[in-house]
A and B are shown apart, each in its own frame.
Chain A
Amino acid sequence: MLKITNLHAKVGEKAILKGLSLSVQAGEVHAIMGPNGSGKSTLSYILAGRPGYTVTDGAVEYEGKDLLGMEPEIRAREGVFLAFQYPVEIPGVSNKYFLKAAYNALRKHRGEPEMDAGAFLKFIKAKAKDVEMDPSFLNRSVNEGFSGGEKKRNEVLQLAVLEPKLALLDETDSGLDIDALKVVAAGVNKMRDAKRAFVVVTHYQRLLDYIVPDRVHVLSGGRIIKSGGKELAVELEKKGYGWIEDSAPAPKVPA
C-alpha cells in the first residue's frame, strides 16, 4: 500500500530525512519509534503533504501512485489520513460542519452523492458515541478550547468518520492520561481490518500496549536503523534508544 524509498527531505536548509525506506502492506500496523528530533513528525507531515518541506531525493508510492505529486486534499480523498500531534483550533467553524465538508468532499471524489444534513448528523452522533465523545463537542468550533485529550479524541472521531485506507497517527498518545489513551486505542483497534493500514508514530512504547503493532521500526538521524516485531518496542522501553544508535552502522558518507 505504501512504499517509501530512500526518502531525503529538508526543512529550510536543514536535512531531516536522510534515506528513509519503509514498506507497509494493507492490513498491517507499523510503529515508528525514535527519539526527539529523529524526523518522526517530519515523516508524517511529508506523507500528508504539509507545505514547507522539500523532498530532495527518493520516492513515495501509495497504491502504486506517486503520493508526493498529489495536493494534500487529493491525498486525503484517496484515503490517506494524518492524526495530528497538535490538532489545529479553528474558531468559527463548527466541528459538525467541518466533518460534513470533509466527508462530502471524499464522497464526491468517489463519485457518490453527498449525504444530507439529517442523515449525516445521525451518522456522526453514532461515531461520536463510539469514541466516547460528548455530542455537544460536535457543535463547538473545531478544537477550540478543547483539552489535549479532547483534541486527540476529536482526531480519532475524524478517523472514524473518514475511514481512510492509510492512517498515520502522529504522537497520538502525547498528552493523554491512561483512560483517554484506552479510548483512543479502542477507537483505532475497532478500525483495524485487512484493507486498512496504520503507521503509528510514537516516542513511547506505552501506546503500543494498546495498539499492538505488526512491525516496529526505529527512526534515528533521519533513517530507519532497526526493524523488528512488537518485542522490539518492549526492548526499547527497557534500554532506551541509546543502545541501538550506538550499535547502528555509521551513515554512509555521500560519494
Chain B
Amino acid sequence: MIAEALAAQKEGWRYTPAAALTGPDFKPAGVPERILPLAGRVLCPVGFHRAALVNGRWEAKHAVLKLPDGVTVEPLGEASGLTELLNRPAPTDLPLAQAASSARDGFVVRVARHARADRPIHLVHISEASASAESSQARVLVVLEPGASAELVEETLSFGDAPSWKNVRAQVVLGEGAFLRHHRIVREGAQGRLTLGLEVTLASRARYESHALNFGGLFAREDLRVRLEGEGAECVLNGLALLGGSEFADHHSIVEHAAVGGVTRQLYKAVIDDKARFVFDGLISVKPGAQKTDAQVYNKNLLLSEDARVNTNPEFNILADDVSCKHGGAVGQLSLEALFYLRSRGIGADEARRLLVYAFGSEMVDRVALEPLKLALADALHGRMPEENL
C-alpha cells in the first residue's frame, strides 16, 4: 500500500529523490528479537514522561508515564472517543499520510481543558536494526482541549546498516487558547528514511510552536499543513537541518490563515555540506477575510561545498487586503571576511569554519526554551560540525 501511495505522489516532489524510497525492497518491519534500552541512544534528556514506538509498535517497556490528572498518553489501540479525528482523511495531495492512516499503532496524547502536562512528554520513534530493508507506519494524535498546554519532544531515530523507512501521519488539534510546544528531532542516520505528514489546526488564540531539528539522516521529507481556524491564533515554525554526505531533507509547509488576526513566524535554516541537498517550500495562504494577518516565512541556507544543493521557495498567496506578510530565501557561503578575522586572532582555519557554522545553526537551538533539551541540542550541533579540510 505504501508503494502505491508513493507512486501517487506527484505535486511537490519535483526535487525529491524518491529513489531512496523506491530503491530498497521494503517489507513491513517485524518485532525486534530483543528490546534494547533507550539510555544513551536518545538525545532528549531523561526525567521527562516517555513513550516509544519500536518498529511502529508501542513498547510498554519504554513507557515512563506518571501523568497528572487530565493528561493521557496512550497507544492508538487503547484510545477511545477519537473516531472522528481518526477517520478524518488526510489531505488528498498527501497519499503517504493517507497510507499511514491505516497504521495499527501510534501515540495518542490528550490534555483536558485547562490542564497542563507538568513535565515535557518525550515520544520516541525507533527503527531497530534488521537484516533487510524494513518499513513501519505510525499515527500520532495530539489533542489539547481549550486552555490546555503541553510540551512534546518527538524524536525519530534508526539503527543498523539495513535501510529503514518510517511513514508517519501526525494530527495536532489545539482548542481555544491551548498552547503546544512541539520539538521534532530527527536523527535517522545513514540508512534511515522518514516521511511525515503533519496536520495542525488552531482554534482562537491557540498557539503552536514547533522546533524541527534535523541532525542528519539519509532521507527526510515532511509535509506540514497548519490551519489557523480561530481568531488571533499564533504559529511559530522554527527549523534547522544539518546535512552532509548524500543526505537529503525536504520541508514542505502550507500555513493557512483562515481567520482574523493570525500570526505566523517561520524560519528554517539549513547547513548543507558534501553532496547533501535541501528543499524548502513554504507557502503561507491568507484566505479571504483573514484580515490583520501578520505572517513571515524565511529560509536561510549555508552551503559548505561545491556539490551541496538547495532549492528554496518561500511564498505567499494572499486573498485579504489588510495584512502584513514578509518572506525571503537566502543561500550563502561562509563569509571570507569573518574567516580571516577569526584567523587573524590565532584561531585555526578549520576551527574558524566550525565556529562560523555553529554560529549559523545555534540561533535555532537558542530558540528552544526547554533548558535541558537546549543543552543536549547544542551538544548535538557541536557533534555535527564539519570535519577538518572542508
Contact = CB atoms under 8 A, between A and B. Distances in A.
Interface string A102-123: 1001100100000000000000
Contact of A90 (B336, B338, B351): B338
A101 interface: yes
A101 B351 contact: yes
Nearest to B362: A92
A90 B336 CA distance: 11
Nearest to B345: A102
Interface centre among B335, B359, B363 (most CB of A within 10 A): B359
A92 B338 CA distance: 12
Interface stretch (A26-34, A71-79, A172-180, A228-236): A71-79
A143 to B, nearest CB: 9
B359 A92 contact: yes
Contacts of B352: 73
Given A77-B346, A158-B345, A51 B362 contact: no
A150 to B, nearest CB: 16
B346 A109 contact: yes
Given A51-B340, A72-B340, A101-B351, A92 B345 contact: no
A95 to B, nearest CB: 12
Interface residues of A, number: 29
B349 A92 contact: no
Contact of A50 (B335, B340, B342, B356): B340
Interface string A72-88: 11011100011010011
A252 to B, nearest CB: 34
Contacts of A82: 344
Interface in B332-363: 335-338, 340-349, 351-352, 355-356, 358-360, 362-363
B343 A71 contact: yes
Contacts of A89: 338
Contacts of A81: 344-345
B338 A72 contact: no
Is chain B's interface secondary structure helix, strand, loop, or mixed overall?
helix
Contacts, number: 76
A92 to B, nearest CB: 3
Nearest to A74: B346
B352 to A, nearest CB: 8
B347 A101 contact: yes
A141 B363 CA distance: 11
Contacts of A197: none
A48 B344 contact: yes
A93 B359 contact: yes
Nearest to A103: B346
A75 B348 CA distance: 11
Contact of B358 (A87, A88, A92, A158): A92
A100 B82 CA distance: 55
Contact of A92 (B336, B348, B363): B363
B348 A84 contact: no
A153 to B, nearest CB: 16
A71 B351 CA distance: 14
A88 B345 contact: no
Interface string A27-50: 000000000000000000000111
B160 to A, nearest CB: 35
A73 B343 contact: yes
Most buried by A among B335, B341, B355: B341
Contacts of B358: 92-93
Interface of B: 335-338, 340-349, 351-352, 355-356, 358-360, 362-363
30 contacts: A48-B344, A49-B343, A49-B344, A51-B340, A73-B343, A73-B345, A73-B348, A73-B349, A76-B346, A77-B346, A81-B344, A81-B345, A82-B344, A84-B344, A87-B341, A88-B335, A88-B337, A88-B338, A88-B341, A89-B338, A90-B338, A90-B359, A93-B355, A98-B342, A98-B345, A101-B355, A102-B346, A102-B347, A105-B348, A105-B351
Q: Which 10 A-B pairs have the closest CB atoms?
A: A92-B359, A76-B346, A102-B345, A88-B341, A105-B346, A72-B343, A73-B343, A93-B359, A77-B346, A106-B346
